[in-house]
A and B are shown apart, each in its own frame.
Chain A
Amino acid sequence: MDLAETEEEREFRAGLRAWLAKTLPELPPRPSPDDWPGRRAYDLGWQRRLYDAGYAGLHWPVDAGGRGAGPTRHLAFLEETERAGAPYVGANFVGLLHAGPTIAAEGTPAQRARWLPPVLRGEEVWCQGFSEPGAGSDLASLRTRAVRDGDAYTVTGSKVWTSHAEIADWCELLVRTDPDAPRHRGLTWLAMPMDAPGVTVRPLRTLAGSAEFAEVFLDGVRVPVAYRVGAENDGWRVTMTTLSFERGTAFVGEVVACRRTLGALARAARANGRWDDPVLRRRLGRLAAEFAALWRLTQWNVSAAERTGGVPGAGGSVFKLAYSQARQELYDAAAEVLGAEALALEEEWVRERLSSLSYTIAAGTSQIQHTIVAERILGLPKGR
């Protein structure tokens, strides 16, 4: 067991840190959350800078245009960028972390050549069309239909919780191609151009007041067969490749950010006198232990993945369960520090508190994660 860095890791961090110190002050001001074109330009601009500096697609395979870095290197990248206050992956999230890795793993040479470089260079935005109004946790029950018609599929249905749909060029779309097959076997993965006729995007307002994601209605949208990744009716397996990436290192930056928030909370509590309350003080101390341990848990999972050379496994579910709960507790503690001020939306922690309510739901609810842990890790009998 070793947590020390190798000489290469130290050099990598030093180089990245120097680049961040030089680059971050040159960034334009962040656009307002409602300014979608501005957000697209900002996020793609950041990705382009990463690309020019050689940091794009660090964890992608070399033959997909990435740097072939192992999980440890990717972890270091995420830690350093978060620590320096660099922009979040934002609109590049699906392209870099879902669709891109899926295409890299399952796509043809032509598909890789078409779709991967624009993601790395910060030229195209992807969104995800998996969930449907009737298919949430039970994703395999999805009903959006794709009917083969010559060299294209005609797609009809609706998708929901689609982040960045307003500004996406492509959608990684999961559709049903064989309604008579067992439900996991009749699905297909398609790359759908968002400007195709028949695509309608309607923003969804969250309880935090913002429009972070959208509903996407598909009415006879034609998607060329050439845009299918993997075989027809093999979409479930292709999709599972993608989902396993979602639970790997995806949250480490947020853990680092939580630790920073916790420090700021301690400062604020000290300033307003609540630090003298041992109950609150101890609560913050306990949260400090939680986030330190969660950061270590990421390192543990990453080094396990590094050993096996594989994709992060079900250990990610353990992490997500603990993390989503700790993060919600963090903002509840923030509310205790703020007192009545926690009712004023001008305070960033208050807005974050509202956003954090999604953490036990998004990317697999805590209940689904518990079932995954119980059945796949602990080997308990399958429930129903």
Chain B
Amino acid sequence: MDFQPTQEQDDLRAGVRALLARRFGREALRAAVDRAEAEGGAAGRGAGCGDACRGGPAAGGPGAVDRGLWRELGAAGFFALRLPEADGGVGLGLAEAVLVFEEAGRALLPGPLVATHLAAGCVGGAADGTAVVTAFDLGDRPGGDGGAGAGAGAAPGVLVTHLAEADAVLGTGAAPPAALLSAALPVPSADPLTPLHRVPPPDPGPGPHARLRDEGALLTAALQLGSALRTVELAVRYAGEREQFGRPIGAFQAVQHLCSGMLVRAEVARTAVYAAAVGADAADRAGGAGAAGFGSAAAEIAGAKLLADRAAAANARDCLQVYGGMGFTWEADVHLHLKRAWVRAEQWRTAAAAEEVLAAELLAGARQPGREGASYARGGGL
């Protein structure tokens, strides 16, 4: 057992971090926010003309996705990372994917990264980043919440992200985005870089395959993890620079302990995410058995999503608190982390659903006392 990343994994992560630093640093992030604002709340006006004027042929539709960067990510293997090499992919596993997604989360990279990554094997153009693929990933039930989450008086339908700029919607081969878009209403989004549309409830159908949903939850957890680690850095840096009462506020224990609590949340989430990824890869190799932890790979992924959601949202809030009045401004980046964390918390697997998965597995394990021993014996741990 060597749970630490290998040199190759460290190098992969460093490469993605460098690419994002070069192509999507803070200035690019803020420019994207300004652009989305200028477009009127990012939800876009459908496939209007504003988009076509921007950025020439390299730029895509309205909204948050930078098509040039998307293709660059594709060329770097971001989307094809887990496709077999024979299919033009990189042939790596979830263990590598979570490291790469963690970096995207740190950088607050916008766009349907998870859905496009999951679509790499089934939607043309997804693997190389020439296509943007979104999914009905908000809420828990396949196909979304069926409007159950809509407020009183709101139009019936489900929310979907990045619809106007998507070339495809994962799992809805029958309804190309243009058809969906014609029946869709743009909705102002809490997160400036995650445009939303409300669309009529899709055909319930089978929804995303359970395996796809688990992978989506895990990769989303990795994005959350990156954000959670980044807000620790932001808070620590600010606390070391900002002076009150004649010393850096980071010298006050009240502030120190806020920051320490942030690190604890992030580190717990980190091990949960990495372990779930390693466990899922092992389960793949072993044809489903795998090196289970306390529970199944699915339960471990549910736990990772739960803990990473908490880490991202709670850390962003504590970071906001450390920033004080500055944290409440549009100018500071803290609110962008918090708002994105709220979006991701609703994607692929919510806290409520994750807790139910974990509870069901807990009870099943408790009813079969031999079970823990059995998974223990499989190796890799308990």
Q: Give chain A's interface residues, CB within 8 Å of chain B.
A: 1-6, 9-10, 72, 79, 83, 256, 259-260, 262-264, 266-267, 270, 275, 278, 281-286, 288-297, 299-300, 302-304, 306-307, 315, 318, 321-322, 367, 369-371, 373-375, 377-384
Contact = CB atoms under 8 A, between A and B. Distances in A.
A263 B260 contact: no
A117 to B, nearest CB: 31
Report which residue of A260, A299, A374 has the largest number of chain B beta carbons within 10 angstroms of its beta carbon.
A374
B150 interface: no
Interface string B27-51: 0000000000000000000000000
B282 interface: yes
Interface stretch (B118-126, B141-149, B263-271): B263-271
Interface of B: 1-6, 9, 95, 232, 236, 239-240, 247-248, 250-253, 255-257, 259-261, 263-264, 267-272, 274-275, 277-279, 282, 291, 293-295, 299-300, 302-304, 306-307, 352, 354-363, 365-367, 372-373, 376, 379-382
A307 B268 contact: no
25 contacts: A1-B6, A2-B2, A3-B282, A83-B373, A83-B376, A262-B362, A266-B362, A278-B356, A281-B359, A282-B356, A285-B354, A285-B357, A288-B295, A288-B303, A289-B304, A289-B355, A289-B358, A296-B3, A297-B271, A300-B274, A370-B261, A373-B263, A375-B256, A380-B239, A383-B256
B359 A293 contact: no
A186 to B, nearest CB: 27
Contact of B359 (A3, A288, A318, A380): A288
A286 B278 CA distance: 21
Given A300-B271, A381-B240, A381-B247, A318 B381 contact: no
A281 B353 CA distance: 11
A308 to B, nearest CB: 10
A381 B251 contact: yes
Contacts of A384: 251
Contacts of B359: 266, 281-282, 284-285, 288
Contacts of B1: 2-6, 9, 72, 299, 303
Contacts of A288: 294-295, 299, 303, 358-359, 361-362
Contact of B291 (A4, A295, A307, A371): A4
Contacts of A9: 1, 379
B363 A270 contact: yes
B294 A292 contact: yes
Given A1-B9, A285-B355, A378 B300 contact: no
A369 B303 CA distance: 25
Report which residue of A1, A267, A369 has the largest number of chain B beta carbons within 10 angstroms of its beta carbon.
A1
B265 to A, nearest CB: 8
B272 A296 contact: yes
B2 A322 contact: no
B4 A303 contact: yes
Given A288-B362, A299-B3, A3 B260 contact: no
Contact of B307 (A1, A259, A289, A382): A289
A299 B271 contact: yes
Contacts of B3: 1-3, 296, 299-300, 302-303
A293 B250 contact: no
B55 to A, nearest CB: 38
Report which residue of A72, A295, A369, A378 has the largest number of chain B beta carbons within 10 angstroms of its beta carbon.
A378
A260 B369 CA distance: 10
Nearest to B310: A286
Nearest to A2: B2
A292 B256 contact: no
Nearest to A268: B366
Contacts of A370: 253, 256-257, 260-261
B268 A1 contact: no
Given A1-B278, A292-B303, A285 B271 contact: no
A293 B268 contact: yes
Contacts of B274: 1, 296, 300
A297 B381 contact: no
A297 B268 contact: yes
A374 B232 CA distance: 11
Nearest to A375: B256
A13 to B, nearest CB: 8
Contacts of A380: 236, 239-240, 248, 250-251, 255-256, 259
A374 B259 contact: yes
Given A4-B1, A79-B381, A281-B356, A292 B272 contact: yes
A270 B356 CA distance: 14
A16 to B, nearest CB: 12
Contacts of B6: 1
Nearest to B363: A266
Given A83-B376, A381-B251, A2 B257 contact: no
Contact of B267 (A297, A302, A382): A297
A318 B268 CA distance: 8
Nearest to A297: B271
B382 A256 contact: yes
Contact of A292 (B253, B295, B363): B295
Contacts of B252: 383
Contacts of B361: 288
B164 to A, nearest CB: 36
A9 B376 CA distance: 13
Contact of A374 (B257, B307, B357): B257
A364 B272 CA distance: 25
B260 A373 contact: yes
Report which residue of B271, B307, B360, B373 has the largest number of chain A beta carbons within 10 angstroms of its beta carbon.
B271
Contacts of A286: 306, 355, 358
A290 B268 CA distance: 8
Contacts of A373: 260, 263-264
Report which residue of A2, A381, A382 has the largest number of chain B beta carbons within 10 angstroms of its beta carbon.
A2
Contacts of A285: 354-360, 362
Contact of A377 (B263, B278, B354): B263
B313 to A, nearest CB: 14
